[in-house]
């Protein structure tokens, strides 16, 4: 039994899940007392069937801010908040992938305190009494929708291309995998992470193969939300390696995770045998050891088109040192199953090349 510290366990989100859930949105807004929502999204979504479905439901009456960048900036937040004030909005509908959802959630702080900069803020005082936010994910990966109120409708991910389905789905898998194996005491998250792994192992290859498989799409959306709930327990070295790959080389966050995952798993299993045994069981393997589980994860990532090899994604040898510095400065690896030093991260990048 680990030392039990006094911990907070909170699972506060209400989720409406199912194909067609989007059509209930007007009633949901009424129930929350929302009159003038601001839709926050990114420019790429405007042309999608998912956005057209939202427009149809809104009768095009809602204000829209569509200037969110991938890996959004503080300027995106300021501009979205300005659009919200201009249209006197009383709520936010965050619509899209993780970037749009994150911006949508955070601008409520700007709307509450228009005369103050976003940072610094006081968590207790400033994050209460915010305008409601309905988060509607159109990907199945980051799980950013697990905020205050969410609508999850697998119909909206139907049009997501296989590459993005694979990358976002791999991110969800690695959220479950890293949170489950991190040494923090949080059995609630552990249970959710294992079921997330089970769902993803079964549904992700299907969702990549056939985007119209609504059952697989639905399972992936729930699993993505479960991954995000699970990682309030924290992540590990895979995410520390992935973050610089996005900032230095522009890799998609999920792709970056997938390309590093098998090497970090080998590293961890060599130093702490048995780390991945229960992960293997969650995948449905019979009496798995670490090696069998790692082989299974590698095979799954290959199957969805994410075979290792950073070089193929344009990562240059000369970047490995600065990326290793940044990866070591990243806090995720502090909850890796085993401790890592800067040179371990450098070595893992080299292996992943
Ligand atoms: Zn992630």
* pLDDT tens sequence across 190-221: 999 999 999 999 999 999 999 999 999 999 99
Alpha-carbon span 322 to 326, nearest angstrom: 6
CA of 26 to the centre of ligand 1 (A): 31
Which residues, 6 or more positions from 256, have their beta carbon under 8 angstroms from its beta carbon? 241, 242, 243, 245, 246
CA of 84 to the centre of ligand 1 (A): 28
CA of 125 to the centre of ligand 1 (A): 28
CA of 172 to the centre of ligand 1 (A): 7
CA of 168 to the centre of ligand 1 (A): 8
CA of 30 to the centre of ligand 1 (A): 33
Residues of the chain predicted below pLDDT 70: 1-5, 7-12, 123, 147-152
Query: Are 150 and 28 a contacting pair, CB within 8 Å?
Result: no
Query: Are 22 and 47 a contacting pair, CB within 8 Å?
Result: no
CA of 257 to the centre of ligand 1 (A): 7
CA of 242 to the centre of ligand 1 (A): 8
pLDDT value of residue 339: 98
Q: In what order do the strands lie in the sheet with 91-96?
A: 14-17, 149-152, 133-137, 91-96, 37-40, 63-65
Both structure tokens of 326: 């940044």
The enclosing H or E element of 15 equals strand 14-17
- H helix intervals, the chain: 25-31, 49-58, 74-86, 98-112, 123-126, 162-181, 187-209, 214-230, 237-249, 253-271, 277-282, 290-303, 320-329, 342-352
pLDDT value of residue 159: 85
DSSP at 118: S
CA of 56 to the centre of ligand 1 (A): 32
**How confident is the model over 119-128, as pLDDT tens digits?**
777 767 777 7
Which residues are registered as beta bridge partners of 135?
94, 150
Which residues are near ligand 1, the ion (C-beta closer than 5 Å)? 171
CA of 322 to the centre of ligand 1 (A): 21
CA of 69 to the centre of ligand 1 (A): 17
CA of 332 to the centre of ligand 1 (A): 10
pLDDT value of residue 306: 97
CA of 121 to the centre of ligand 1 (A): 25
CA of 254 to the centre of ligand 1 (A): 6
Nearest in space to 226 (alpha carbons), one of 201, 243, 251, 209: 201
Query: Mapping DSSP to helix (H, G, I), strand (E, B) and coil, where does residue 159 land?
Result: coil
CA of 244 to the centre of ligand 1 (A): 12
Which residues, 6 or more positions from 292, have their beta carbon under 8 angstroms from its beta carbon? 280, 285
CA of 72 to the centre of ligand 1 (A): 15
CA of 87 to the centre of ligand 1 (A): 33
Nearest in space to 167 (alpha carbons), one of 71, 253, 263, 42: 253
CA of 174 to the centre of ligand 1 (A): 7
Count of other CB atoms within 10 angstroms of residue 111? 18
CA of 101 to the centre of ligand 1 (A): 14
Alpha-carbon span 229 to 208, nearest angstrom: 23
CA of 221 to the centre of ligand 1 (A): 14
CA of 27 to the centre of ligand 1 (A): 32
CA of 253 to the centre of ligand 1 (A): 6
145 burial type by CB count under 10 A (0-12 exposed, 13-18 middle, 19+ buried): buried
- Please tell me whether the overall predicted TM-score, pTM, comes out greater than 0.85 for this model: no
CA of 34 to the centre of ligand 1 (A): 31
């Amino acid at each position: 039994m680990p030392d039990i510290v006094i911990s907070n366990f909170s699972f506060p989100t209400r989720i409406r899940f199912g194909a067609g859930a989007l059509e209930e949105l007007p009633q949901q807004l009424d129930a929350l007392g929302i009159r003038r929502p601001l839709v926050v999204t990114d420019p790429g979504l405007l042309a999608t069937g998912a956005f057209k479905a939202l427009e149809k439901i809104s009768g095009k009456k809602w204000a829209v801010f569509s200037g969110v960048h991938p890996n959004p900036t503080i300027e995106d937040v300021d501009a979205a908040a300005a659009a919200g004030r201009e249209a006197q909005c009383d709520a936010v509908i965050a619509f899209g992938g993780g970037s749009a959802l994150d911006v949508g959630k955070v601008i409520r702080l700007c709307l509450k305190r228009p005369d103050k900069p976003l940072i610094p803020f006081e968590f207790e005082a400033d994050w209460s009494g915010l305008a409601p936010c309905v988060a509607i994910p159109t990907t199945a990966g980051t799980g950013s929708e697990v905020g205050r109120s969410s609508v999850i409708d697998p119909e909206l991910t139907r049009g997501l291309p296989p590459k993005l389905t694979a990358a976002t789905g791999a991110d969800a898998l690695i959220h479950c995998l890293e949170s489950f194996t991190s040494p923090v005491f949080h059995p609630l998250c552990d249970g959710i992470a294992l079921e997330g792994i089970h769902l993803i192992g079964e549904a992700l290859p299907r969702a990549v193969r056939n985007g119209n498989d609504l059952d697989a799409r639905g399972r992936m959306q729930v699993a993505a939300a479960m991954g995000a709930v699970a990682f309030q327990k924290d992540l590990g070295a895979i995410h520390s390696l992935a973050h610089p790959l996005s900032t230095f080389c522009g890799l998609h966050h999920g792709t970056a995770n997938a390309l590093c995952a098998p090497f970090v798993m080998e590293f961890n299993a060599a130093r702490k045998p048995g780390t991945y045994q229960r992960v293997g069981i969650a995948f449905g393997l019979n009496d798995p050891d670490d090696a069998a589980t790692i082989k299974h994860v590698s095979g799954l990532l290959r199957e969805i088109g994410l075979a290792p090899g950073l070089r193929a994604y344009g990562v240059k040898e000369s970047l490995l040192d600065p990326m290793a510095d940044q990866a070591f400065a990243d806090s995720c690896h502090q909850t890796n199953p085993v401790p890592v030093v800067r040179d371990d991260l450098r070595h893992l990048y080299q292996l992943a090349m």
